[in-house]
Amino acid sequence: MSKLTEFSVHSSNTCNSKVSPTETRKSNPTVTAKKIAVIKGDGIGPEIVTETLKVLDKIANKYGHTFEYNHVLLGGVAIDEVGMPLPPETITACKNSDAVLLGAVGGPKWDFGPGHMRPEAGLLGIRKELGLFANLRPVKLFSALANACPLKNVTEIDMVIVRELIGGAYFGERNTFTDENGNKVANDSMTYRDFEVERVAKVAFDLAKKRHNKVISVDKANVLDSSRLWREVVAKIRMDEYPNVELSDMLVDNAAMQLIHNPAQFDVIVTENLFGDILSDEASMLTGSLGMLPSASMANGGFGLYEPCHGSAPDIAGRDIANPLATILSAAMMLRLSLNMPNESDDIENSVNAVLDQGYRTADIVGKSEAEKCKVVGCKEMGDLIVNKL
């Protein structure tokens, strides 16, 4: 099986308090222990992260590494325990780590607070604090899961969505007020600066060079000023620095349709924050389930936060039926992109592939026509199967 992503922002790897995450750092070959900040979060977060730590422990054991886990709070559980979604200790601990592993945050319990007191504010806050501007979401259909893909006759689906992660509407000015006519008004502004587009475009072009050399930049330039700037900057970067990479532009509404119509045309998609959020959930279904999609959120210098693209799924939390594979595959991305352990990363991806090939499935990835042939397992058992395969 080909690797989920061959890409790294830079080769070095630590993020500590002396060096900001946006600078390139030198790795120290004498230090073998890697510090990983672990955020279990809410809903199914604790279950899927627990399985992933079992997998990382097996990797440590097999390859002679030491992983030091520093468990920290974020999201709803942080609101409950310390009264805020992003405690300052969490920011410090993440900055003092080589990488961050995250489960998921959010849940109905915290849905009614003001925006800054919601679990999601903690997630957006940590992304901003760590400078994680490029979110890589590899969308790859494992051959064993072809039956779980809702499209007919799919051959290959293998693309990476590069989502800008710390700009646009999620970080623009916003307010809610009553106007002079007594109407309630809510406002979110979508702002992009040229350098914000530039740096994420470079990530996409670098990635394309290691894949099939093709970038599709998705925007809404027929309507939005921010999209017209996006398109202009992406084209200029390509002309100046990546003349051999094929670039085309696609409007976001067309892209939403093309993902279903002809997903094989996509290699690397680069797009702004809101569009990337929506398109990546859509694209995840092509892999059979949102429960299969890992992600890496990268700063300059190779530092990253690794989390599944799915949410905290509070409706199935605590029932041992969640799919841990997106988080386990996120850990594989962490080994490859931040910890410089490509063989270990391959080992995890191959194990996932092998376990799926043997017919083991969590409930979300059982294809309709293959129900009798496959063995449905819970979250823990899926974790154990991967560990035993390693």
How far is the C-alpha of 147 from the C-alpha of 67, rounded, in Å? 37
Q: What is the DSSP string of 316-333?
A: GTTTT----HHHHHHHHH
- Min separation Cβ 64 and ligand IPM, Å: 34
Residues in contact with ligand IPM, counted by CB under 6 A, come to a total of: 7
For ligand IPM, give the closer residue by CB, 73 or 123: 123
- Backbone phi, then psi, for 369, in 5-degree steps? -85, -10
How far is the C-alpha of 286 from the C-alpha of 321, rounded, in Å? 21
**Helices assigned H by DSSP within the chain:** 45-63, 76-82, 88-95, 119-129, 194-209, 225-241, 252-261, 273-284, 325-337, 342-357, 379-389
**Quick check: 328 and 52 in contact, CB under 8 A?**
yes
277 is catalytic: yes
Examine residue 120 and tell whether it contacts ligand IPM (CB under 6 A): yes
Which stretch of DSSP H or E encloses residue 20? Answer: none
- Min separation Cβ 108 and Mg ion, Å: 17
For ligand IPM, give the closer residue by CB, 73 or 366: 73
Pairing verdict, β 99-104 and 33-41: parallel
**Local structure of residue 212 (DSSP, 8 states):** T
Shortest CA distance to 329 belongs to which of 352, 311, 310? 352
Residue nearest to ligand IPM (CB): 120
Picked from ligand IPM, Mg ion, none, the partner binding residue 123 (CB below 5 to 8 A depending on kind) is ligand IPM
Choice from 123, 149, 329, 387 touching ligand IPM (CB under 6 A): 123
Choice from 101, 309, 334, 365 touching ligand IPM (CB under 6 A): 309
Binding residues for ligand IPM restricted to 53-112, rule: CB under 6 A: 106
Buried b (16+ CB within 10 A) or exposed e, 144-164: bbbbbbeeeeeeebbbbbbbb
For Mg ion, give the closer residue by CB, 36 or 101: 101
Using the contact rule CB under 6 A, the part of the chain among 46-54, 118-126, 237-245, 262-270 near ligand IPM is 118-126
- Min separation Cβ 127 and Mg ion, Å: 12
Picked from Mg ion, ligand IPM, none, the partner binding residue 23 (CB below 5 to 8 A depending on kind) is none
**Quick check: 170 and 272 in contact, CB under 8 A?**
no
220 is catalytic: yes
Active-site choice (98, 170, 219, 306): 170
170 is catalytic: yes
For ligand IPM, give the closer residue by CB, 105 or 149: 105
Examine residue 42 and tell whether it contacts ligand IPM (CB under 6 A): no
Question: HEC profile for 367-382?
Answer: CHHHCCCCEECCHHHH
Choice from 277, 307, 344, 349 touching Mg ion (CB under 5 A): 277
Examine residue 190 and tell whether it contacts ligand IPM (CB under 6 A): no
Residues marked active site are found at 170, 220, 253, 277, 281
Where along the sequence are the contacts to ligand IPM (CB under 6 A)?
A: 106, 120, 123-124, 277, 309, 311
